[in-house]
Structure 1
């Protein structure tokens, strides 16, 4: 990079450098499930007047209700009559429709958690119109891009962080010298099994990052092969959330041991 242009530095969203550049990607989900647990706890503490999914005696009961809904949808998607009078195509509510919203809420709770809890609550009460209308709107937005037929399987219902755009190119190339683009079915099955032991909620999404590298055989023009550590001119301030979906606090603490004088906030 340009160390001569860097003065004091704050880093956030900290990965384990060895795990990341070796392409293992197994040091990310250690705190993921705690995010949803905490959201459910906060919702229950807010009470039935403010928590649309309020149920039971604790946040654990809310999480159990979320589990029940998603499990039922995985086993049996729910067809809904057309919500748009201009089309005869029905909407089918699937596991993915709520799962992608849920992990988005875990990553961006301030902007997304309230909405997904509300949609889940309406669905539990038998009101499927809201989620169907939301899905229809996303299909129409995708169709307007001109790359899919309206309401077809080719329409992407919702872009979500991580797996789209530049992210695969960056992370797959960062680990390219460690054969990130070569992954057998057996290896992926083993990798996914390790992820599911770390997080029941985020493993399904996180596994797609490694899958997105399959077939990418390009190599970066330059790679950094030395150990990632050093004595900086000014101490680093390393920030980590108490609970984070993919950059657990332990990573910030580990990186702090690699840079003399750095502190963790």
Structure 2
């Protein structure tokens, strides 16, 4: 994207109708039975797991509600290619809730309404692509730099936890527009980088590796499960992966690039 273009994300506030409905997914299943198995999870993996559970144990399910974030056949094949068509609509909600929250609660507030807020966000992002921000160090923390690649990882998080992440994301975007990267650098150290700034305590010794006290899971186990479940990617060529990545990026400017990395790990 050229520095003067501000067309990100490619949606308008009035485009509120989901254009990519998958009619075979996210159905409400009501099966009369005296036994009910209750399960609550989130994400594409949970949708696929829920569909599998219903198929395997229909007599144990009274009602199952599956979120429309995955095509089970694509998911089981390891495609990861049908999950993000509606993801950019998150920013429609960002504009809406920022407007409702007002200037005190949302630093991106614009009295002209949600459409103006979205346009402002698009400009901030477009400028940041070419203009990362450096943050000087101090007596405790070394210097840092925040980039568009870091921001894409924040967008990935906001999709999974929109209500939790909206406030911090709005603040980060506002600070970026003011060429202040301090809040973003703090977020990056806390959530996007390995925790190397403190020694592990007694809780880590008692809770054992991969516990929250020891820094948590780095996500490697996810790929160890997801990759063998799907088709082998060991023979995948660079060109075939590029074609796949372009397809995913075209579905979502918000997290398309980050989502395409999932298959790369396999």
Please report the TM-score for the alignment, with normalisation by the length of structure 1: 0.63
Q: Distance in 2 between matches of 1:114 and 1:144?
A: 27
Report deviation, 1:120: 1.6
For residues 122-158 of structure 1, what are the alpha-carbon distances to aligned partners after superposition, in whole Å with 9 as ceiling and x for unaligned? 2323433322333345557245479xxxxxxxxxxxx
Q: Distance in 2 between matches of 1:120 and 1:51?
A: 11
Report the equivalent of 2:76: 21
Report the equivalent of 1:102: 155
Report deviation, 1:113: 1.2
Report the equivalent of 1:227: none
Aligned length: 196
Aligned to 2:145, what secondary structure does the other structure show?
Answer: strand
Report the equivalent of 2:233: 180
Report deviation, 1:188: 1.1
Does the 8 A contact of 1:100 with 1:160 survive in 2?
Answer: no
Report the equivalent of 2:204: none
| 2:244 pairs with one of 191, 204, 207 | 191
Report which structure shows greater RCO (CA 8 Å, sep ≥6): 1
Q: Distance in 1 between matches of 2:96 and 2:149?
A: 24
Report the equivalent of 1:165: 220
Aligned to 1:210, what secondary structure does the other structure show?
Answer: helix
Q: Distance in 2 between matches of 1:200 and 1:173?
A: 28
Q: Distance in 2 between matches of 1:145 and 1:211?
A: 33
Unaligned runs of 5+ in 2: 1-52, 201-214
Unaligned runs of 5+ in 1: 147-158, 214-265
Aligned to 1:10, what secondary structure does the other structure show?
Answer: strand
Change (3 A) 1:180 1:61: farther
Please report the TM-score for the alignment, with normalisation by the length of structure 2: 0.63
Q: Distance in 1 between matches of 2:261 and 2:144?
A: 26
Report the equivalent of 2:127: 72
Bigger mean CA deviation after superposition, 8-17 or 182-191: 8-17
For residues 199-226 of structure 1, what are the alpha-carbon distances to aligned partners after superposition, in whole Å with 9 as ceiling and x for unaligned? 111211110111011xxxxxxxxxxxxx
Aligned to 1:29, what secondary structure does the other structure show?
Answer: coil
Report deviation, 1:103: 2.3
Bigger mean CA deviation after superposition, 63-72 or 33-42: 63-72
